[in-house]
Structure 1
Amino acid sequence: MVTDSPSPRTLLPLVLPSLLIGVLASLVLIGVSDLAEQFEHVLWTSLPGALGIGRYSVAWMVVMLTATGLAIGLVVRFAPGHAGPDPATTGLVDPPLTPRVLPGLLVATVLALAGGVSLGPENPITATNIALASWFGRRVAPRAPADLWLSLAAAGTIGALFGTPVAAALILTETIAARPGPGSLWDKLFGPLIAGGAGALTSNLIAKPSFDLGLPRFHDPGWGDLLTAIVVASAGAVLGMAAVYGLPYAHRAFRLLPGGSWRPVVALGAGGVLLGALGALGGHLTLFKGLNEVKTLADDPTGWSAGGFALMAVVKLAAVVIATAGGFRGGRIFPSIFAGVALGLCAHALVSQVNLTLGVVCAVLGVLLAVTRQGWLSLFTAAVLAADTDVLPLLCVATLPAWLLVTGRPLMQLDDDGAARR
């Protein structure tokens, strides 16, 4: 039973700061992404063209990712606050960082995105916006709860990332619902929904993000499709859990590297070499955050064999593990989507009776459940990739066995001592 619900007079003062934070969070994301794309064009088009080298030749991939690792290592070594905490210990929504670490974190993020590292912008951009919003909130409204600014910044960033406030609401629902205080869930989501809507609208007006892969429409589901959904989603969860279990071992190996205070440079340089080798093994589509590359895969579902798709899925998740363990700043959602799409295309190529659309979205669902442990986010992301409501019932059913495979097991996030969280 809900008691002491806040009045409209209590909620209305949230409108202006929520709108402001949502818009600014989106602008930070757009600015960093655009800067990274321009730098990426220089590194992967202009520079190899001027040198007469193939932009995706093995030599260039290894050289570029190694150089990227060394450059980020220098940023981590010398920037105030060392460009933020160890990325293997961070999640999507964490407590605010001190503002002094943000310049180094943003530089390291731009370098990683432009250099071809298999990580997305979501974690560092969300951390940046939370830090800025918290700094702003403490000065303009020192009596307001600190969690308010965190939730507004997170909602604005997530709304901008996915182009809809629904994603922000789903991700924040569990956290906000458990927060003590008067009012219903919708009262608590009032500000974050405004911030998420403002962030999404700003992003849609300027950057026009789209997750629709243009997959064939899914018609007339049958019993065979139910079996497909369960098996493929479970396979995605197993593949994702392999990455989860591999992260502590990879992280421990990087920590054993010598170098003293220069160890970040050594570790990130070594990580760059490994990422370059993985890119050479899996092909250039396994580089970068994966959002553009995944559309290339979906546009040509017969362009690779089942083995080729499987290789790309495994290489992509291996690259995520190496990048995270080695200290590259970035998020794990977007590259996990790529791995899931590749796995779904592999299932379709391996068994032609597997519906292409259903296989892709269920594989993405399973991988994301394992990597993020966010049920709502995983279900939402899988659904918007198809832009087809007919897959929703099967996705909901497929979530259950996949969730049983991942719940209670280690998270893809480590404690400060390198042990996996649960």
Structure 2
Amino acid sequence: MGEAVMSSADQYAPLRGRPYLKLLVLAALLGVPIAAASYWFLQLITLIQKWVYTDLPRGLGLGREPLWWPLVPLLVAGLVVGLAIRYLPGRGGESPAEGFHAGGVTRPEALPGVALAALAGIGLGVVIGPEAPLIALGGGLAYLAVWLRRRNVPERAGAVVAASGSFAAVSTLLGSPLAGAFLLLEASGLGGATAAAVLVPGLLAAGTGSLIFIGLDSLTGHGTFSLVIPHLPPAHRPTIAQFLWALAIGLAAGVLCWALRRLALLLRTRAERRVLASTMLAGAVTAAIAIGYAAVTGRSSSDLLFSGQFGLPKLLTDSAGYSVPALVLLIIGKGIAYCLALSAFRGGPTFPAIFIGAAGGVALSHLTGLPLVTAAAMGIGAMIAGMLKLPLSAVLLTTLLLGANGLTVLPLVIVSAVVAYVLSIRLTPPPDVPATQRAPAGGAAGGATPAADHGR
């Protein structure tokens, strides 16, 4: 018993040392420039989108965006991203087809490729989010700052510094240090003393960084990045019927998330054989889907393009302007474009999943009399949990999105998110285990072999 208590206490010994205090000071200092860089990176993406889809057509004398226009920027996006993946170090970042990941260190030589692939893909209309590149760039910039002073950075210290930079960067996007920390910790799977060692400097970097992007808001007038959707109607207390809807929505979202990931992985296998041709083809098909949606519904192609981060408030506040057939076309088209982006481009999977879940909720509210905010909340929570496989983050992000309504619909969001998560996990086959790690079919009576133990 005494040994166990001592061992438990010793887990936190590194946190009491002077090197850890120095690490905290470094994290606080790094949070400032990384938050500023993240703020301007997100602003640059927004400016590229506005310039390409609004200012450029007008400057060319075409007036409003012509119906065929998405084909131009999306072909350019495919070309630039394909070149970045094919020729630049780091292959433009991790493929989002595997889902949301945290942890790891982006090496300095990979930073230009990650930034270029994100700016081209997200800025030019690909259905992918900015959170994964931000996490990679924030962590890579933090590591680069330490590496420039000391080339032989210890592995553990480098990982903690990189995590602090990622915390500061993603908190700029989410508008909340707590939300960013929660998302990264659940995705990394850390716990106990290890989680504390990473969490404290990460929170400190995110906290100091938040002061920077709040200050930049007042100085520039561009505004901060906030998840809260304004001007939503009030939500009402949950009913038994709505709990049954939460089960149904969770089941539907679980199947849909499994199908989207399955298709994305299947397409990625083929895309990796001829990267440049695949990214350009994915861009062209995405443009064709957006053009078809705009032609059939009479709505803007921007409904279907982009991550959905900035289109979500309009979808919910102008829900009466969307007919049920238009919403069904939007969900199908956005889902296919999402799969193409996951398979061939670089970015994060979070915001398109949020948008698709919200669109499904809006469609249900038209058909069944289910309250709009309640239906959208269940759809959002279920899609985040099913696509990211992070049920706690799904509940937190949905609550933040809905502001004052979040706590009212929280029980329903929990039910839909948990059902979608469990079903998505059950439908996903386990990863292949190398033959050297598999347990023998007929083990000896004396117990498992070391290889069998490792395989478990």
Shorter-chain TM-score: what band?
0.7 to 0.9
Q: Which of 85-94 and 22-31 deviates more? A: 85-94
Alpha-carbon distance, 1:81 to partner: 4.5
Write the distance in 1 (CA, Å) between the matches of 2:93 and 2:24.
31
AA at the equivalent of 1:374: L
Superposition pairs for residues 232-381 of structure 1, below 5 Å? 232-256=249-273, 263-283=274-294, 284=301, 285-326=303-344, 328-352=345-369, 354-381=370-397
Alpha-carbon distance, 1:162 to partner: 0.8
Alpha-carbon distance, 1:360 to partner: 0.5
Alpha-carbon distance, 1:8 to partner: 5.9
SS of residue matched to 2:321: coil
Superposition pairs for residues 30-45 of structure 1, below 5 Å? 30-45=39-54
Write the distance in 2 (CA, Å) between the matches of 1:379 and 1:307.
29
Given candidates 220, 228, 233, the residue that maps to 1:216 is 233
Aligned residue in 1 for 2:106: 97
Given candidates 197, 205, 210, the residue that maps to 1:195 is 205
- Report if the CA contact (8 A) 1:54-1:60 is conserved: no
Write the distance in 2 (CA, Å) between the matches of 1:399 and 1:390.
16
Q: Structure 1's 314 and 98: CA in aligned 2 closer, same or farther, altered over 3 A? A: same
Aligned residues with identical type, % of pairs = 25
AA at the equivalent of 2:387: V
Alpha-carbon distance, 1:125 to partner: 1.8
Aligned residue in 1 for 2:135: 126
* CA RMSD in angstroms, aligned pairs only: 2.8
SS of residue matched to 1:189: helix
SS of residue matched to 1:291: coil
Which 5+ residue runs of structure 2 have no aligned equivalent? 217-222, 295-300, 433-456
> Structure 1 runs of 4+ off > 6 angstroms?
none
SS of residue matched to 2:310: helix
AA at the equivalent of 1:49: R
Alpha-carbon distance, 1:85 to partner: 4.8
SS of residue matched to 1:100: helix
Write the distance in 1 (CA, Å) between the matches of 2:128 and 2:328.
19
CA offsets 1:317-361 (integer angstroms, 9 cap, x no match): 2212101212x2211111111111111101111111x11111101
Write the distance in 1 (CA, Å) between the matches of 2:115 and 2:197.
34
SS of residue matched to 1:407: helix
CA offsets 1:372-394 (integer angstroms, 9 cap, x no match): 11112211111112112111222
Q: Structure 1's 28 and 409: CA in aligned 2 closer, same or farther, altered over 3 A? A: farther
Q: Which of 152-161 and 47-56 deviates more? A: 47-56
Pick the structure with greater CA Rg. 2
Write the distance in 2 (CA, Å) between the matches of 1:282 and 1:94.
38
Alpha-carbon distance, 1:48 to partner: 1.0
- Report if the CA contact (8 A) 2:31-2:164 is conserved: yes
Write the distance in 2 (CA, Å) between the matches of 1:267 and 1:145.
38
AA at the equivalent of 2:213: S
CA offsets 1:128-161 (integer angstroms, 9 cap, x no match): 2222222333545934533312321222122222
Number of residue-to-residue matches in the alignment? 404
CA offsets 1:153-174 (integer angstroms, 9 cap, x no match): 2221222221112212322434
Q: Structure 1's 87 and 383: CA in aligned 2 closer, same or farther, altered over 3 A? A: closer
Q: Structure 1's 25 and 334: CA in aligned 2 closer, same or farther, altered over 3 A? A: farther
Given candidates 148, 171, 175, the residue that maps to 1:163 is 175
Q: Structure 1's 74 and 146: CA in aligned 2 closer, same or farther, altered over 3 A? A: closer
Relative to the length of structure 1, the TM-score reads 0.86
Alpha-carbon distance, 1:86 to partner: 4.4
AA at the equivalent of 1:3: A
Alpha-carbon distance, 1:181 to partner: 4.7
AA at the equivalent of 1:270: L
CA offsets 1:278-316 (integer angstroms, 9 cap, x no match): 212334211112111111111111111222222212222
Which 5+ residue runs of structure 1 have no aligned equivalent? 257-262, 415-422
Q: Structure 1's 54 and 294: CA in aligned 2 closer, same or farther, altered over 3 A? A: farther
Write the distance in 2 (CA, Å) between the matches of 1:164 and 1:340.
22
Matched, 1:226 2:243: yes
Q: Structure 1's 347 and 147: CA in aligned 2 closer, same or farther, altered over 3 A? A: same
Write the distance in 1 (CA, Å) between the matches of 2:239 and 2:99.
41
Alpha-carbon distance, 1:235 to partner: 2.4
- Report if the CA contact (8 A) 2:128-2:306 is conserved: yes
Alpha-carbon distance, 1:272 to partner: 1.0
Q: Structure 1's 9 and 234: CA in aligned 2 closer, same or farther, altered over 3 A? A: same
